[in-house]
Every structure is written in structure tokens, then in C-alpha cells.
Amino acid sequence: MSATRDEAVPDDGTDARPSAPAGRPRRSRAAGFVGFLGELLITAGLVLALFVVYSLWWTNVVADRAADQQGDRVREHWAQQPQRGPGALDTKDGIGFLHVPAMKNGEVLVKKGTSTDILNDGVAGYYTDPVKSALPQDAKGNFTLAAHRDGHGAKFHNIDKLRKGDPIVFESKDSWYVYRVFAILPQTSKYDIDVLDQVPAKAGVKKPGRYITLTTCTPVYTSKYRYIVWGRLERVDPVNARRTLPAELR
């Protein structure tokens, strides 16, 4: 009589099933490591994505908010001191506003200095070193400015949209300074301070005048080089009681 299924399986506490091949535990450990590595890479990717969002979006939100608040204080200060003449450029909260239609960046508050502490607030700053900037009201000189191209307001992000002949307008308490772009240098060393000269020879200038220089990082999303735009003062319009915009900004 043949054995039943129950009789074929010994009941002595041992397992009659064939044991796993010796190599299987190693494959299980390898699979576990691959899974852990995959999870680690996914986490790293999420962290990197969050950092990019923070750098390129959230810092813009924070900087624009800070710039708007500072700009409001400047205009309030102007309204409280209606007199004109010397002192119209206030360097405490800001000296005025830059308007560059081709960059489509609205008005940009201009403050003294180009350190990251200043530029990170979503403003443009005029150089105090390594070459001291002239100011718009000076009889001669180069009004030299810097701003971020990406993150922290990115006020000069579209600097590459500027073309020769485009207007650059600086608004002070009592004057509109209208400049015209006449030279562009798409790339130069970050250490090239000659572009800030009061007589900017690299722009083809050979004699003193009243110039403006915009500087920022390039290529986009890097700070390896600098992008330079030069303008020459075309005219100065007085600000009227209604602060009517010059024709270039209408």
C-alpha cells in the first residue's frame, strides 16, 4: 500500500523542503543595497529640486518684497522733502530708480554698494570699489551698476535683450536721466575692472563724458563671466509735480 501524503512528510520537526542555493542570501543583500541606493538617490534628487526652487523662485519672491518696501520708503522720503537741488539723491535708503524697458523688469531701486548683502534685496547697486562710481548728477563720469541675473530678484536677468539705441532711464527725486545704449560686451572676465573706468575705453570711448554701465553675471545661472552694457547720457528732464514719465517709458 502506498504511503499517504501525510506519511511522506516526516513529523520529526525537520523541514524536508530543499534548502535555498548558497548564493541566494548574497543576491538578497545586493538587492537590498540597490534599493537603499535608489532611495538615497531619489531623496538627493528631491533635495536638489527643492534647492533649485529656493534659489530661482523663492529668493526672487523674498527679494522683490524687500525691494518694494525699500522703494516705498524712498518715495515717502521724497514726498516729505519737497525741496529740490543738492541732496535730492538720498544714499540712505536708495538714490533712485532704474528703468530699462528692454529688460521688462519694472523699476529697480538703486542703492549704494554692490555687496551680496545689498544686491540680495532685489536692487541694483552702484560701485564703491574697486573703481568708485560717478553719480548721474556729476558733470562727468561713469555711473556703474551691478545686479543679480538669477535669483534674489534677478533684476538684470534680461540684460541680453538690450540693443544699441535702447533707452536706459534713471529716476532721481527731481530729474529723469535718459541714456542710450551704445556698446555691449557679452562676455568678459569677472576680474575685468577696466569696464568700470570713468572713461570706458573698452566701450570705444576716448574722452570724458556722462556714461552709465550695467554689469551682471553670465552665462545664465552661473557667475563665471560678466556681461556689460554701456550707455551715454542723452538728456536730463526735470521731474514735474505729477512725475510724468519721459517718452521712453510711456
For residues 181 and 165, the answer to whether their CB atoms sit within 8 Å is: yes
- Identity of the amino acid at 124: A
CA distances, 29 to each of 25, 26, 43, 171, 175 (Å): 6, 5, 21, 68, 74
Give yes or no: 217 in active site: yes
Helix (H, G, I), strand (E, B), or coil: what is residue 122? coil
State the DSSP H helix or E strand holding residue 38, giving kind and residue range, or none if neither.
helix 24-53
The CA distance from 79 to 75, in Å, is 6
Strands 175-189 and 210-218: unpaired
Question: If we measure between CA atoms, which residue out of 118, 117, 103 comes closest to residue 149?
Answer: 103
Q: 66 CB contacts (<8 Å, ≥6 apart)?
A: 121, 122
Neighbours of 158 (CB within 10 A): 14
**CA–centroid distance for 163 within its chain:** 20
Q: 65 CB contacts (<8 Å, ≥6 apart)?
A: 122
Per annotation, catalytic residue among 159, 203, 217, 228 = 217
Cell of 30: 545586493
The catalytic residue positions are: 217
